[in-house]
């Protein structure tokens, strides 16, 4: 499976007797948009935390770009090209939208142990940051403090910050959570534009969005991976329908 | 010769450790349950000592003075809670540190204002005066043994209280998860008051007990406060058991270290250098010890929070 | 009091004064003071008080660098004053009296102490950090009291103020005033630059949201540790000046109460503005200096014995003032100024 960008092998996470991630193995191919779905409490966010390095794993292995990253701290994984967004919006509220993104650009452009020179006036950083903001449609809001942005705008800002790290793989934890119809439309459009430019792992509850965006879908139920396949086949998979989709409308 | 010295120092260390425990117990509960960092806890120890000094001068009887001092210390703690501390629970630690620092500045001066700057002496009660032979030829002051006995008794009572009563259960639950306790419909404000007053009384009791063997003076609570902090940091914030073990450890390390650091160093250094370096290192021992503990266990030996 | 860093609208112009002018006014006042001091009739007293204000201003500002911009509540900052002061004292007692050697030694000593204690302290969070920095400060305090060769508890008197390149440049109080002002301005300019730099931006980001900073590839620990070292070095410089002003060094320079006072100065002035810390230091020291007289004056209806007793025990009023400031003056002086401007 050397062609996979991300390879998860027999990953496990337990809290005492509670098994949250149960022997999950998953391969993400370069360039694909891979969605992970599952009912509430299936352990999707835990899995993202494990991949991004926010949580440790009890056993198993995570390979990224051929390198074992199971024991690396989060910030080092980011440097390898593994970026993430948060389910609960997690921007720097006191900084402008532009600075939020410029900070991420700064993280990968040269040393940050520079004590002289005003960072907010570094054109090199600001230009790239503005580009990322334009990609998600936030360029006009660049100067607004992130804390004052609307919820939907914060979700887009999260995305822009993730992009600014120039990731090989972007982990998105429910980018549509809590957004209204218009906002979610805008995020979906943005994701469609990004698709193909980078590998994306997407956790999402909005099935319309998942099935219109994903190349492949994995289904997680109670910490176990029960299927990974194309959207059409997942839709048809009787096990998935039984375990998760049930009687829900699965157009 | 050295063994008897070691024994005496060990007893002194245990006695000191138990006093530290009485102070740290209140501090760790107040912090564990209320997430409140109270620098003014040390002055409550001082207030206890002053109260017993004042009452014993007035009544001429230590036991009676102690009996009067305890409820007064309790009332005083409650007064501080109502006047000041209550308004700080929802503030951040920085504000709490500063406001309680203001309380220290005030009280250290207030005792000077009332009783003067000169140290007060409290006579050792008649029946507990003198020394007793605890091993062949080894005399030890009875009063210090009484402190050890009182400290152990209070520790035992506290253990029963915390682990076998309803209030104790709430306190333990509060130290682990305060939100859950208030979600259970417990009057958290009253629980806070009880814990606070109780902690103040314990510190006051410690101050009262040491009044006959130390000089009662303004600022006497300041340095012991820092030691109590070291104790609860090593023991794990919110944990009574941790505070007990850490207090004994600190008491022993400090007392025994001061005596034996110079002797131990004599193995490596010439006597003059050894005694000089030893005296320099001894007071730092507990802080080095704390740094070592925190290096390996950043939340102490027995963290209550998960 | 760690409110969100207020983002100031850049383009809003309101009539009258603006907070951006505060540092300019502040430094202009310090520069003008020696010219105006003779008019007070107590030139020596005024200059020495203001020198003290500036030295504490440096120390408080160094603390603001980590407290206001990094949310690191260091309760052992007086230790660095002690390191700076003892570097001067110990070297002087061995005949090395030149500041060109003393100051670098003080800075290196402060940096090393900050590096070691910071690396341990920063592994902990919140209240543990407060307590462990407090304990490290105490450790150094007790070390100083046990240094029998250097005066122990009592401290030691310096033979004279430090030389600069062999010349007794600091001998006159006026010259010492200007050197202190230069140090204050230098550390202010440096700190200002640090705060706005790439490094400072990471530090500020880590204060607001450490998880986010890690998620974009920063390891906050390294930046916080570096800030702690820088802050310690600046405080060490203040310690050198402090020893020189008093021509005396003692463990009293680094009591934990002193660390508490430094935090208070920063909060009084307003967190996270640098010049706020200098203003806080000035207010704190002036209050300390004049409260006894104010009390004496205010209690004119009492008899003389009570009045002097009250003035002697001015801390009984000082303590409650501290408490009231914490309870009611949130955001400190700079906070008041900002609110005044918007309201």
Enter the tokens of residue B70.
């305890």
Q: What is the mean pLDDT of residues C287-296?
A: 89
Closest residue of chain A to C193, computed from CA coordinates: A116
Q: Which residues of C touch B221 (CB under 8 A)?
A: none
Q: Are A226 and A240 in contact (CB under 8 A)?
A: yes
Bigger pLDDT: C143 vs B34: C143
Q: Are C77 and C206 in contact (CB under 8 A)?
A: no
* Inter-chain CB proximity A117 and C198 less than 8 Å: yes
CB of C106 less than 8 A from some CB of B: no
Taking the C-alpha atoms of residue B153 and residue B53, their distance in angstroms, rounded to an integer, is 23
Nearest-CA distance from C341 to chain A in Å? 19
Residue of B88, B291, B293 for testing the chain C interface, max C β-carbons within 10 Å: B291
Identify how many contiguous H helices and E strands chain B contains and give both numbers: 12, 2
Q: Which residues of C touch B91 (CB under 8 A)?
A: 1, 326
Taking the C-alpha atoms of residue C270 and residue C54, their distance in angstroms, rounded to an integer, is 17
Closest residue of chain B to C137, computed from CA coordinates: B287
Q: Is the pLDDT of residue C342 over 80?
A: no
Mean residue pLDDT of chain B comes to: 87
The number of folded domains in chain A is: 1
Q: Which of residues 161-190 of C touch A (CB under 8 A)?
A: 190
When CB atoms are compared, the residue of C126, C127, C139 closest to B287 is: C139
Bigger pLDDT: A41 vs C167: C167
User: How confident is the model over B153-187, as pLDDT tens digits?
Assistant: 999 998 888 888 888 887 777 766 666 666 676 77
Backbone angles phi, psi at A136, to 5 degrees: -100, 5
DSSP label at residue C303? -
User: How confident is the model over C226-272, as pLDDT tens digits?
Assistant: 999 999 999 999 999 999 999 999 999 999 999 999 999 999 999 99
Three-class secondary structure of residue B92 per DSSP: coil
A187 CB-contact burial (10 Å; exposed 0-12 / middle 13-18 / buried 19+)? buried
Helices in C37-125 by DSSP H: which ranges? 43-70, 78-93, 99-121
Q: Which residues of C touch A94 (CB under 8 A)?
A: 4-7, 204, 208
Q: Is the pLDDT of residue B268 over 90?
A: no
* Inter-chain CB proximity A90 and C212 less than 8 Å: yes
Taking the C-alpha atoms of residue B253 and residue B264, their distance in angstroms, rounded to an integer, is 14
Q: Is the pLDDT of residue A127 over 70?
A: yes
When CB atoms are compared, the residue of C1, C128, C143 closest to B280 is: C143
* Inter-chain CB proximity C134 and B95 less than 8 Å: no
CB of C108 less than 8 A from some CB of B: no
CB of C248 less than 8 A from some CB of B: no
Q: Is the pLDDT of residue C6 over 50?
A: no
Nearest-CA distance from C315 to chain B in Å? 6
DSSP label at residue A177? T
Q: Is the pLDDT of residue C185 over 70?
A: yes
Q: What is the pLDDT of residue C136?
A: 92
Taking the C-alpha atoms of residue B253 and residue A15, their distance in angstroms, rounded to an integer, is 37
Q: Is the pLDDT of residue A173 over 80?
A: yes
Q: What is the pLDDT of residue C308?
A: 83
Neighbours of chain A (3+ CB pairs under 8 A): C
Q: Which residues of C touch A161 (CB under 8 A)?
A: 212, 216
Give the domain extent around A182.
6-245
Bigger pLDDT: C225 vs B288: C225
Q: Which residues of C touch A76 (CB under 8 A)?
A: 219
Show the 3-state SS of C113-136: HHHHHHHHHCCCCHHHHHHHHHHH
Report yes or no on A251 lying in a domain. Answer: no
- Per domain, the residue ranges of chain C are 41-253
Q: Are C105 and C169 in contact (CB under 8 A)?
A: no
CB of C209 less than 8 A from some CB of A: yes
* Non-local CB neighbours of A105 within 8 Å, separated by 6+ positions: A125, A128, A129, A132, A164
Q: What is the pLDDT of residue A244?
A: 64
Phi-psi region of A10 (alpha: psi -120 to 50; beta: other; left: phi over 0): left
User: How confident is the model over B228-260, as pLDDT tens digits?
Assistant: 999 998 998 888 889 999 999 999 988 888 877
B3 CB-contact burial (10 Å; exposed 0-12 / middle 13-18 / buried 19+)? exposed
Q: Which residues of B touch C263 (CB under 8 A)?
A: 94, 97-98, 101
Q: Are there at least 3 beta-carbon pairs closer than 8 Å between B and A?
A: no
Cα distances (angstroms) measured from residue C191 to each of C184, C199, C205: 10, 11, 17
When CB atoms are compared, the residue of B84, B109, B299 closest to C128 is: B299
Taking the C-alpha atoms of residue C339 and residue C343, their distance in angstroms, rounded to an integer, is 6
Q: Is the pLDDT of residue C192 over 60?
A: yes
Q: What is the pLDDT of residue C17?
A: 56
Q: Which of residues 277-316 of C touch B (CB under 8 A)?
A: 309, 313-316
When CB atoms are compared, the residue of C5, C223, C226 closest to A94 is: C5
Enter the tokens of residue C140.
């150094």
Taking the C-alpha atoms of residue C212 and residue C315, their distance in angstroms, rounded to an integer, is 44
Cα distances (angstroms) measured from residue C166 to each of B86, B112, C175, C232, C311: 58, 47, 15, 27, 44
Q: Is the pLDDT of residue A248 over 60?
A: no
Q: Which residues of B touch C316 (CB under 8 A)?
A: 106, 109-110, 113
Q: What is the pLDDT of residue B306?
A: 44
* Inter-chain CB proximity B106 and C263 less than 8 Å: no
Q: Percentage of residues in chain B with pLDDT exceeding 70?
A: 95
Most confident of B58-62, B259-263, B287-291: B58-62
Q: Which residues of C touch B107 (CB under 8 A)?
A: 319
Give me the residue label for tokens 């891979």: A34
Q: Is the pLDDT of residue C65 over 90?
A: yes
Confidence of residue C222 (pLDDT cuts 50, 70, 90): very high
Give me the residue label for tokens 């494990």: A50
Taking the C-alpha atoms of residue C167 and residue C98, their distance in angstroms, rounded to an integer, is 8
Q: Are C231 and C114 in contact (CB under 8 A)?
A: yes
Taking the C-alpha atoms of residue A137 and residue A128, their distance in angstroms, rounded to an integer, is 14
User: How confident is the model over A47-80, as pLDDT tens digits?
Assistant: 999 999 989 999 999 999 989 999 999 999 999 9
Among the listed residues B249, B231, B248, the one whose alpha carbon sits nearest the alpha carbon of residue B26:
B231
Q: What is the pLDDT of residue B31?
A: 83
Taking the C-alpha atoms of residue C106 and residue C82, their distance in angstroms, rounded to an integer, is 10
Enter the tokens of residue C68.
């206001």
Q: Is the pLDDT of residue B291 over 80?
A: yes
Q: Is the pLDDT of residue B1 over 70?
A: no
Q: Is the pLDDT of residue A205 over 60?
A: yes
CB of C142 less than 8 A from some CB of B: yes
C-alpha of B87 from chain center: 25
Q: What is the CATH number of the domain that holds A241?
A: 3.40.50.300
Radius of gyration of chain C (CA): 20
pTM exceeds 0.80 for this model: yes
User: How confident is the model over B60-108, as pLDDT tens digits?
Assistant: 899 999 999 999 999 999 999 999 998 998 888 899 999 999 999 999 9
Of the candidate ranges A179-193, B203-217, C135-149, C212-226, the one whose mean pLDDT is the lowest: A179-193
When CB atoms are compared, the residue of C67, C313, C327 closest to B113 is: C313
Domains present along chain B, CATH in parentheses: 2-296 (1.10.3470)
Neighbours of chain B (3+ CB pairs under 8 A): C
Closest residue of chain A to C217, computed from CA coordinates: A75
Enter the tokens of residue A146.
């992130």
Q: Is the pLDDT of residue C274 over 90?
A: yes
Confidence of residue C49 (pLDDT cuts 50, 70, 90): very high
Q: Are A21 and A223 in contact (CB under 8 A)?
A: yes
Strand order in the sheet with A216-221: A82-84, A169-173, A199-203, A33-37, A216-221, A224-229
ipTM of this complex: 0.85
CB of C86 less than 8 A from some CB of B: no
Closest residue of chain C to A88, computed from CA coordinates: C212
When CB atoms are compared, the residue of C6, C208, C219 closest to A92 is: C208
Q: What is the pLDDT of residue A17?
A: 80
Among the listed residues C81, C110, C114, the one whose alpha carbon sits nearest the alpha carbon of residue C228:
C114
Among the listed residues B94, B221, B106, the one whose alpha carbon sits nearest the alpha carbon of residue C319:
B106
Q: What is the mean pLDDT of residues A124-137?
A: 92
Confidence of residue C3 (pLDDT cuts 50, 70, 90): very low
Q: What is the mean pLDDT of residues C144-171?
A: 90
CB of C226 less than 8 A from some CB of A: yes
Among the listed residues A167, A166, A164, A171, the one whose alpha carbon sits nearest the alpha carbon of residue A104:
A164
Confidence of residue A203 (pLDDT cuts 50, 70, 90): very high
Report yes or no on A39 lying in a domain. Answer: yes
When CB atoms are compared, the residue of C4, C214, C226 closest to A74 is: C214
* Non-local CB neighbours of A225 within 8 Å, separated by 6+ positions: A24, A25, A26, A218, A219
Q: What is the pLDDT of residue C16?
A: 54
Report yes or no on A112 lying in a domain. Answer: yes
Q: What is the mean pLDDT of residues B212-233?
A: 90
Confidence of residue A3 (pLDDT cuts 50, 70, 90): confident
Taking the C-alpha atoms of residue B283 and residue B230, their distance in angstroms, rounded to an integer, is 13
Residue of B225, B287, B301 for testing the chain C interface, max C β-carbons within 10 Å: B287
* Inter-chain CB proximity A114 and C199 less than 8 Å: yes
Number of Cβ pairs < 8 A linking chain B and chain C: 140
* Inter-chain CB proximity C319 and B84 less than 8 Å: no
């Amino acid at each position: 499976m050397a062609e996979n960008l991300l390879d998860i092998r027999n990953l496990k996470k337990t809290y005492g007797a509670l098994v949250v991630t149960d022997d999950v193995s998953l391969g993400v191919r370069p360039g694909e948009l891979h969605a992970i779905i599952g009912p509430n409490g299936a352990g999707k966010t835990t899995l993202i935390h494990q991949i991004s390095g926010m949580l440790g794993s009890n056993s198993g292995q995570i390979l990224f770009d051929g390198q074992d990253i199971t024991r690396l701290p989060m910030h080092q994984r980011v440097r390898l090209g593994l970026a993430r967004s948060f389910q609960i919006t997690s921007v720097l509220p006191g900084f402008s939208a532009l600075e939020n993104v410029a900070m991420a650009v700064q993280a990968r452009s040269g040393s940050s142990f520079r004590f002289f020179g005003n960072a907010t006036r570094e054109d090199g950083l600001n230009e790239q940051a503005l580009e990322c903001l334009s990609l998600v449609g936030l360029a006009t809001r660049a100067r607004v403090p992130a804390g004052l942005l609307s919820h939907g705008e914060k979700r887009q800002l999260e995305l822009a910050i993730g992009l600014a790290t120039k990731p090989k793989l972007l982990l998105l934890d429910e980018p549509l959570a809590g957004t209204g119809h218009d906002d979610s439309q805008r995020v979906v459009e943005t994701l469609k534009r990004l698709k193909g430019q980078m590998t994306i792992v997407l956790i999402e509850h909005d099935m319309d969005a998942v099935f219109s965006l994903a190349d492949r879908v994995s289904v997680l139920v109670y910490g176990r991976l029960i299927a990974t396949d194309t959207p059409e086949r997942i839709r048809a998979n009787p096990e998935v329908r039984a375990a998760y989709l049930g009687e829900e409308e699965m157009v | 010769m050295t063994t008897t010295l070691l024994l005496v120092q060990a007893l002194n260390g245990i006695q000191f450790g138990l006093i530290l425990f009485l102070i740290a117990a209140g501090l760790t509960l107040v912090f564990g349950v209320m997430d409140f960092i109270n620098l003014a806890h040390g002055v409550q120890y001082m207030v206890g000592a002053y109260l017993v000094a004042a009452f014993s001068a007035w009544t001429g009887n230590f036991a009676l003075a102690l009996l009067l001092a305890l409820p007064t210390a309790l009332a005083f703690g409650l007064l501080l809670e109502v006047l000041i501390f209550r308004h700080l629970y929802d503030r951040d630690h920085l504000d709490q540190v500063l406001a309680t620092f203001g309380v220290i500045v005030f009280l250290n001066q207030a005792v000077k204002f009332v009783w003067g700057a000169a140290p007060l002496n409290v006579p050792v009660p008649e029946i507990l005066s003198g020394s007793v032979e605890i091993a062949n030829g080894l005399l030890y002051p009875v009063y210090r043994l009484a402190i050890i006995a009182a400290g152990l008794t209070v520790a035992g009572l506290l253990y029963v209280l915390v682990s076998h009563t309803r209030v104790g259960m709430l306190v333990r639950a509060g130290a682990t998860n305060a939100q859950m306790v208030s979600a259970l419909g417990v009057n958290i404000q009253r629980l806070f008051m009880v814990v606070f007053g109780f902690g103040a009384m314990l510190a006051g009791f410690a101050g009262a007990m040491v009044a006959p063997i130390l000089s009662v003076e303004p600022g006497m609570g300041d340095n012991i406060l820092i030691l109590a902090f070291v104790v609860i940091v090593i023991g794990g914030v919110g944990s009574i058991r941790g505070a007990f073990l850490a207090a004994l450890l600190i008491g022993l390390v400090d007392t025994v270290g001061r005596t034996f650091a110079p002797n131990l160093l004599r193995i490596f250094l010439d006597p003059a250098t050894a005694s000089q370096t030893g005296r320099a290192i001894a007071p730092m021992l507990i802080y080095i010890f704390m740094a070592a503990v925190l290096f390996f266990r950043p939340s102490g030996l027995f963290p209550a929070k998960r | 009091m760690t409110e969100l860093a207020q983002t100031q609208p850049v383009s809003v112009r309101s009539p009258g004064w603006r907070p951006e002018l505060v540092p300019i006014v502040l430094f202009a006042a310090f520069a003008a003071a020696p010219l105006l001091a003779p008019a007070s009739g107590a030139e020596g007293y005024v200059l020495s008080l203001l020198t003290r204000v500036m030295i504490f201003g440096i120390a408080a500002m160094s603390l603001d660098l980590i407290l206001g911009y990094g949310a690191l509540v260091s309760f052992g900052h007086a230790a660095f004053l002690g390191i700076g002061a003892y570097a001067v004292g110990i070297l002087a007692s061995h005949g090395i009296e030149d500041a060109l050697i003393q100051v670098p030694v003080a800075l290196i000593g402060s940096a090393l102490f900050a590096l070691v204690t910071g690396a341990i302290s920063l592994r902990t969070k919140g209240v543990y950090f407060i307590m462990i920095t407090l304990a490290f400060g105490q450790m150094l305090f007790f070390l100083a009291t046990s240094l029998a060769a250097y005066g122990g508890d009592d401290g030691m008197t310096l033979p004279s103020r430090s030389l600069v390149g062999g010349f007794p440049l600091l001998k006159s109080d006026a010259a010492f005033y200007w050197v202190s002002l230069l140090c204050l301005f230098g550390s202010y300019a440096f700190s200002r630059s640090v705060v706005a730099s790439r490094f400072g931006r990471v530090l500020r980001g880590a204060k607001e949201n450490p998880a986010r900073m890690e998620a974009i590839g920063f390891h906050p620990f390294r930046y916080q540790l570096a800030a702690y070292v820088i802050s310690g070095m600046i405080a060490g410089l203040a310690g050198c000046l402090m020893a020189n002003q008093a021509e005396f060094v003692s463990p009293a320079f680094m009591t934990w109460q002193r660390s508490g006072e430094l935090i208070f100065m920063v909060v009084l002035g307003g967190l996270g503005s640098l010049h706020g810390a200098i203003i806080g230091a000035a207010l704190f020291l002036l209050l300390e200096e004049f409260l006894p007289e104010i009390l004496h004056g205010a209690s004119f209806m009492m008899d003389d014995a009570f009045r002097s007793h009250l003035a002697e025990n001015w801390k009984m009023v000082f303590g409650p003032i501290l408490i009231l400031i914490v309870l009611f003056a949130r955001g400190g002086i700079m906070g008041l100024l900002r609110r005044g401007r918007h309201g």
